[in-house]
């Protein structure tokens, strides 16, 4: 199993998660002559909006990971303290 994969989680290597900078850099090909296309300004505004939303999600994910690390460290400290008290013959 890959370094960043969890059991039951699958993502194709051909389709990695999008990053905000990738959305902002994405460009659509021009339509062929005689065909109608999308308004390029509207497409770019939408891509910027998606990129901003992705950036917010990644920021929230980073904050969650940091908070989980703080909780885990606090729990380990508490468990160590409880184990020291128990081994020293103390009470909870």
- Give tens-digit pLDDT for 23-77: 888 887 777 666 677 777 888 888 888 888 888 888 999 999 999 999 999 999 9
Under 8 Å between Cβ of 11 and 17:
yes
Provide the pLDDT confidence category of residue 79 given band limits of 50, 70 and 90: very high
Which DSSP state fits 88? T
**Total Cβ atoms within 10 A of residue 51:** 19
- CA 53/CA 20 separation, integer angstroms: 8
């Amino acid at each position: 199993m890959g370094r960043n994969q969890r059991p039951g989680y699958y993502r194709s290597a051909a389709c990695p998660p999008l990053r905000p900078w990738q959305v902002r850099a994405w460009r659509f090909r021009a339509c062929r002559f005689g065909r109608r296309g999308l308004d390029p300004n509207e497409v770019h505004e939408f891509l910027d909006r998606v990129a901003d939303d992705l950036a917010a999600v990644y920021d929230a994910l980073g904050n969650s990971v940091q908070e989980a690390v703080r909780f885990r460290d606090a729990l380990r400290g508490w468990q160590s303290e409880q184990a020291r008290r128990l081994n020293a013959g103390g009470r909870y």
